[in-house]
Structure 1
């Protein structure tokens, strides 16, 4: 009887977990896989020049951009003299060709004056930037090796499944070629960093210095580019999907920039309330809030209030899916869009345009506003529950600054990432729509007064836009 039960148990176990379903390497040890992959991963060391104020007195708070003593001194005695300092940075990357092309993150090399690449065997090379794409935070750099290098193989990130094992190799805190293992925790994550957010979430340990390094599947194929973490979080890292990285890098290599498709609409999320008001069965698709005059969408007859539910045969469930699909479709492509207008489904055919270098695939509202926003040098986002958790803020109204370009007017005036804008020129800013309306009324050469919330404090920051267009 015991022998019978053991036989049944073994049979059921093998049936539930057949050997053929375990893809890639043996999970009992990844050592052979890692040995094979490590030569394709590089450590990156950067040096850039920064300008900092020189305080005549030592600050009791330790100094830094948010130091209240420096703020007090600047307010009453004016700007302090500045001096140049060399700042070092660390990152990771991976080799995609035998002759030395390497993928990394844009933020690793964006401000770098010098870039050094260190291979697994210790060989060190200077690198130059071939192309950068801030919209996806990807960059392509090149070294001149004295021998052929081992390049990675790309996998299909669309086929990656939640729960699948992945391996991260990188340079966290300068600890070169560190290996960590985890699973795919989620796909399609949006962090509020831009229109093309589409991150793979993993619990493989990712730390500062891992940026730009590869995320492998157990077949030894790159399925992601490790990019971001949540400050204070544990086991929460994010990677750019390999399919997006490959699309971007191929263009950076051939053209030095990324050319994207352009539809010429401004869209927003279809909420349950909007769906109910429009008599939709479910809140899916992208609601057209505005149409760019003269753009492909207007020429094809797309109107404000239309709900785009399908693009080139791919269903659009979330608003954020549309900009990514459009951007990754070459300009000039004949495209088919299914939309809902007044409760009826309609099919529209059009030819995609080319996204302007400074534009967005799902367009902004006008040239003057765009020039003002570029002149400020800041990027803002609507405050959503996800943004509140990410930045650990309490405010539900206003817009949050998600990026400030170093050396810009906003940076020099003291605006920083994480600041919540509550007012502009004494006019309330409760959401992104009000922010755009106020920004659109500002003229070049005008002084702009911001009321912001920073941690537990509110403060005013004034800046003056240059009289000429940026």
Structure 2
């Protein structure tokens, strides 16, 4: 009898184990292996044995977080009323003063903004002002001007997020507070032309214009990104992006000093692409033979170890295939540390140490290098005009509408009639906007020469 009972018990264990190893997701019915963390059918987070995480707890966590997501409203010069521009979230609170993080794109024209207001989930309005802007990450902190009872959202570590993990975008599209959309992380380390830092998170969670600037949350309610932009459904469905929380945390750390301290090795870089290689070769600047990697586009140090057009192959022993791999390795360094960098120059590899410095608020690169290489265009002067001789395909200049044979008419409303006036205006504009890559199209006007 005991043998029969033991046999039945063993069979029961095998049967139960079979369920644990291959169970069905309660949400979509997909059969999942027990080792899966996420449902292969719908992307829902699984606990064990293919069972989905308790929806009730996730709903409560996201609902609590949504209480501290706000709408952003601005009133511009000569405007009769406020306009809803996007969303934000309470990122920190010191005593009774709250700080709201959002997307800096709403505040490019600070001279034109007369008043800023934030609207809470219970539709209370608070006055706010710009406290700190970071053009590099396209993030901004607003300081609420009156006492408030908001609770700051907890920042998660975006480095730990995995492709396929479930996320939630919270915002106030069209003034509809506490709007939540769900999706998954579709990819990591994406890039945009107007951001100095790469590594954007890509998600299929819907991000509407009014939701931009709001938090992208994990299932614990932690902020793992700040929603940055989304492509129109006219072009692509479910293609949306968020600035990772690793960059947001650096800004929040600087609230008390009102200064963002970032490690820096004194160079500006570009990813190697077919278009870049072809343009450099056509302009007789450099013949790049490698297929992938990162190229030094400009050097700020007066006595650099690295030189323009060096290809960065490794940093601290790790391969460098894209800009984010280089940036993420530097971001974790302390100022004063020495990093080992392997570069390729004229077909030969060289290794040396570079001391990490604090990044200045206005890095000074040679203006010609900054424009011609980073901007992807070369210039010539003729009969009182400055003309674009060539523009790199898919380069930033071309993306701003500047093409071959175009004449640059104005920069920040200053007339351009020579290379000298161009560089003078360029330097002043660079100082005002911190980085050329953050300029909107309207700051440079040009016409096609005939």
Alpha carbons of structure 1 residues 268 and 114: separation in structure 2 relative to 1, 3 Å:
closer
Alpha carbons of structure 1 residues 12 and 369: separation in structure 2 relative to 1, 3 Å:
closer
Give TM-score, length-normalised by structure 1: 0.65
3-state SS of paired residue (2:256):
helix
2:100 is matched with: 102
CA contact (8 A) 2:186 2:204 kept: yes
Alpha carbons of structure 1 residues 398 and 113: separation in structure 2 relative to 1, 3 Å:
same
Mean alpha-carbon deviation: is it higher for 31-40 or for 201-210? 31-40
Kindly report which structure 2 residues correspond to 1:320-359, keeping only aligned pairs within 5 A, or say none. 321-323=325-327, 325-326=329-330, 329=333, 331-341=335-345, 345-359=349-363
Kindly report which structure 2 residues correspond to 1:364-383, keeping only aligned pairs within 5 A, or say none. 364-366=365-367
How far the C-alpha of 1:304 sits from its partner, in A, is 4.5
The answer as to 2:297 corresponding to 1:310 is no
2:34 is matched with: 17
CA distance in 1, matches of 2:269, 2:396: 20
1:286 is matched with: 294
2:66 is matched with: 38
CA distance in 2, matches of 1:424, 1:137: 29
Alpha carbons of structure 1 residues 287 and 38: separation in structure 2 relative to 1, 3 Å:
closer
- Partner deviation per Cα, 1:56-83 (whole Å, 9 max, x = no partner): xxxxxxxxxxxxxxxxxxxxxxxxxxxx
Give TM-score, length-normalised by structure 2: 0.67
How far the C-alpha of 1:165 sits from its partner, in A, is 0.2
3-state SS of paired residue (1:153):
coil
3-state SS of paired residue (1:422):
coil
Aligned mate of 1:48, from 64, 73, 76: 76
Aligned mate of 1:88, from 75, 79, 83: 83
How far the C-alpha of 1:354 sits from its partner, in A, is 3.9
Unmatched 5+ stretches in structure 2: 1-10, 24-31, 39-44, 278-286, 378-390, 409-417, 427-440
CA distance in 2, matches of 1:329, 1:303: 22
CA distance in 2, matches of 1:161, 1:351: 32
1:142 is matched with: 143
2:191 is matched with: 190
Mean alpha-carbon deviation: is it higher for 117-126 or for 181-190? 117-126
CA distance in 2, matches of 1:445, 1:227: 30
CA distance in 1, matches of 2:106, 2:424: 33
CA distance in 2, matches of 1:245, 1:38: 18
How far the C-alpha of 1:325 sits from its partner, in A, is 4.7
How far the C-alpha of 1:284 sits from its partner, in A, is 4.3
How far the C-alpha of 1:278 sits from its partner, in A, is 7.6
2:154 is matched with: 153
Mean alpha-carbon deviation: is it higher for 202-211 or for 305-314? 305-314
Unmatched 5+ stretches in structure 1: 51-83, 374-378, 383-394, 403-416, 427-437, 447-453, 463-470
